[in-house]
Chain A
């Protein structure tokens, strides 16, 4: 490597490091200060906690004065059930659309893709009316139904691309052996879609876990709030109690960061595999 090349490579790394710091700095700052006593939060915000400044008082308060564990389990139930249904129904629909020739298949595919671009949020007034008259208001079921409807178009789109890449011979061989269509899908095709799951999950889990709008509109009691809504309301009430606010923020950040760091390899592979073009 020549000196010029080395200098250029150093410059590139400096830019990337600077931007990386900008990206994680604010998050680190919040999480770090959530473990400190109040005086240290204000006195030396940029210093990590040490033996004299370490404190969990904010976390104690959050656990005592909010239903944070209920919120977590609600978010988990809503996200996991929605994702399972989006994957199952999405894969089934993608299979039917790519595999079977029938009149109106193009029109149906177009109809299903409206939801990729048009936000379902704009139908909120009618969604609330429907849920009220069906008696589903303030239930997790209402959230799950809306999120499945929201996630299906993108998952059908991505999974169709994957199904098209599966070699034709595989299912034709099964068909010659007289295997029924449902078994071909569930036992031959579905297992081959495993690599696509990470990609679909990015586009399903993240918006659901982070959504504020539908919990705000469809749930009213503490027992049905999700983490995002619960933390939002908690922060509104305790805005002057910095220990609690920083602890609540960190508790909402940490699970996502942990899952992200574990899954990031597959997740980024999914994003960059060109599934969405």
Chain B
């Protein structure tokens, strides 16, 4: 193909996608990082300050305390997802992929449903269900004889964050379930049949043959969970508002970024500090991705079927 013709074709086919993506995705990321090295005075004039915003964010007690609080809350948010969402997803995928299971289409559809809904809707619905006012949760616990366990979980500093994490787990468990289910379906029948001929039961086949084979998918699910969790915002904002109460117990990096950028009742919006927070979030996600690529992805043996 002549060079000029190829260039024309590439421009036509790739031009729109590359232009929109660069202009509205990559450029804003770079520009936000650049903006994080500036500060603005009340008149709106910007001046270059180097890394001073980051020194303030990580060093000044007024900034570093809420930042580290949001960061550690975010770690807890992520830990709950890893320890609850992924094991449940694996277990459900394992059950769904059992040979000869009836109604599996129905179960899959129903279990994936919450994932399709808006986080805002999910948050509010659970807010109502768990509210002591309505008493659905209290009544349900009482019905099984555990009434004394009920507490306004979303309102207590000690339990609000874990409760919100579990609501998020409830919503998104469909994603690990589906990805792992797909990976389980890709395991060749002969492998399982051979194990069965050798006399292995369902449990041992699952733990000794199927699970090791889907490890690459499980690690992919983990990194997807990590990125989604360190970028989360909607659920906390819709249930707890921008102040992430009670007393910032549910504040995560997403809500901290929003408050810094836009301001709220307690502070004025600050775009340059907001950029600094976004840049730090970017590097946290980047470090996570690099750890995944270099430590996990490289060690995983890929099985060719």
From the candidates B17, B96, B112, B124, name the one contacting A90 in the complex (CB within 8 A). Answer: B17
| Nearest opposing residue in chain A for B101, CB measure | A12
User: How many angstroms from the CA of A237 to the CA of B230 in the assembled complex?
Assistant: 29
**Quick check: is B181 within 8 A (CB to CB) of the other chain?**
yes
Interface segment, B24-32, B75-83, B154-162, B204-212?
A: B24-32
Residue of A nearest to B272 (CB): A125
Interface 1/0 per residue, A78-90 and B, CB below 8 Å:
0000000100011
Say whether B281 contacts A93, CB under 8 Å. no
Give residues of chain B (4-49) contacting chain A, Cβ–Cβ below 8 Å. Answer: 6, 9-10, 12-14, 16-18, 20-21, 23-32, 35
The reply to whether A149 and B113 form a contact with Cβ atoms under 8 Å apart is no
Any B CB within 8 A of the CB of A197? no
Q: For residue B92, which residues in chain A have a CB less than 8 angstroms away from its CB? A: 16, 19
The CA-CA distance from A29 to B119 in the complex, in Å, is: 17
Evaluate contact between B278 and A274: CB separation under 8 angstroms. no
**Residues 275 to 295 of chain B near chain A (Cβ within 8 Å):** 275, 278-279, 281-282, 285-286, 289
- A232-B120 CB under 8 A given contacts A93-B18, A123-B29, A125-B32: yes
Q: Which of B20, B102, B111 is the one whose CB lies under 8 Å from A149?
A: B20
Among residues of B, the one whose C-beta sits closest to the C-beta of A260 is: B116
B114-133 CB mask vs A (1 if < 8 Å, else 0) is 10111111001110110000
CA distance A122 to B276 in the complex (A): 10
B200 within 8 A of A: no
Contact B121 A124 (CB under 8 A): no
Which residues does chain B contribute within 8 Å of A45, judged by CB atoms?
134-136, 139
Minimum distance in angstroms from B2 CB to a CB of chain A: 12
Tell me, yes or no, whether B245 is within 8 Å of chain A by CB: no
Known contacts: A257-B113, A268-B108. The answer to whether A185 contacts B13 by CB under 8 A is yes
Q: Which residues of B contact A210 (CB under 8 A)?
A: 117-120, 234
A16 touches B95 (CB 8 A): yes
Which of A54-62, A63-71, A164-172, A244-252 contacts the other chain? A244-252
A148 touching B95 in the complex, CB below 8 Å, given contacts A125-B32, A210-B118: no
Nearest to B173 among chain A residues (CB) is: A23
CA gap between A127 and B26 in the complex, in Å: 10
Contact among A41, A242, A252, A264 with B121 in the assembled complex (CB-CB below 8 Å)? A252
Complex: how many Å from CA A108 to CA B18?
Answer: 9
* B181 and A272 contacting across the interface, CB-CB below 8 Å: yes
User: Of B23, B31, B113, B202, which is in contact with the most chain A CB atoms at under 10 Å from its CB?
Assistant: B113
CA distance A89 to B278 in the complex (A): 29
Is A110 in contact with chain B by the CB < 8 A criterion? no
Residues from 189 to 230 in B contacting A, C-beta threshold 8 Å: 202, 217, 220, 223, 227
Residues of B with C-beta under 8 A to A193: none
Q: Which residues of A contact B52 (CB under 8 A)?
A: none
Contacts of B6 in A (CB 8 A): 100, 102
Is B120 touching A149 in the complex (CB atoms < 8 A)? no
Please report the number of residue pairs spanning A and B whose Cβ atoms sit closer than 8 angstroms: 254
In the assembled complex, the Cα of A181 lies from the Cα of B7 at a distance in Å of 13
- Complex interface: chain B residues within 8 A of A121 (CB): 231, 233
Contact B107 A268 (CB under 8 A): no
Nearest chain B CB to A101 CB, angstrom units: 9
Report yes or no: B118 in contact with A228, Cβ–Cβ below 8 A. yes
- Asked whether A176 is an interface residue with its Cβ less than 8 Å from the other chain, the reply is no
- Is A106 interfacial (CB 8 A cutoff)? no
Q: Which of B112, B124, B271 contacts A249 (CB 8 A)?
A: B124
Residues of B within 8 Å of A231, CB to CB, are 118, 120-121
* B179 to A, closest residue via Cβ: A276
Query: A9, A124, A150, A252: which contacts B278 (Cβ < 8 A)?
Result: A124
Check B120 against A256 for contact (C-beta < 8 Å): no
Contact between chains at B23 and A149 (CB < 8 Å): yes
CB closest residue in chain A, given B261? A125
> Is A179 interfacial (CB 8 A cutoff)?
no
User: B99-113 vs A: 1/0 string, CB under 8 Å?
Assistant: 001110111111111
Determine if A48 is an interface residue (Cβ-Cβ < 8 Å). no
A15 interface contact, C-beta 8 A: yes
A27 and B278 CA atoms in complex are apart in Å by 34
For residue B69, CB closer than 8 A to chain A, the reply is no
26 A-B residue contacts at CB 8 Å?
A23-B113, A24-B114, A29-B136, A30-B125, A89-B20, A96-B9, A96-B10, A100-B9, A118-B29, A120-B25, A122-B282, A126-B32, A128-B271, A130-B31, A146-B24, A150-B25, A182-B12, A212-B233, A212-B237, A212-B238, A257-B116, A268-B105, A268-B108, A268-B109, A271-B182, A277-B220
- Interface contacts beyond A26-B129, A112-B18, A120-B28: sample of 9 additional A-B pairs, CB < 8 Å, sorted by A: A29-B125, A46-B139, A89-B16, A97-B14, A114-B26, A122-B29, A124-B278, A149-B24, A273-B182
